[in-house]
Amino acid sequence: QMGSDFGLASAINSVSIIASIVLITTALVIML
């Protein structure tokens, strides 16, 4: 159970990091 919870948290963390990178890249492209 601990392993699955850690995996889920890790997946959510990865998704949030990817989403923030995409948002920052999009903002830079729009500003340029």
pLDDT tens digit string along 5-23?
778 888 999 999 999 999 9
Based on the structure, what is the number of domains in the chain? 1
Give CA–CA dist 29/23, Å, rounded: 10
Q: From CA 21, how far away is CA 11, in angstroms rounded? A: 15
Q: Is the pTM of this model over 0.85?
A: no
pLDDT of amino acid 5: 75
Q: Which of 12, 31, 11 is nearest to 23 (CA)?
A: 31
Which pLDDT score, from 0 to 100, does residue 23 have? Answer: 98
Task: Note the pLDDT of residue 22.
Answer: 98
Using CA atoms, how far apart are residues 6 and 3, in angstroms rounded to an integer? Answer: 5
- The label of the residue with tokens 């995409």 reads 22
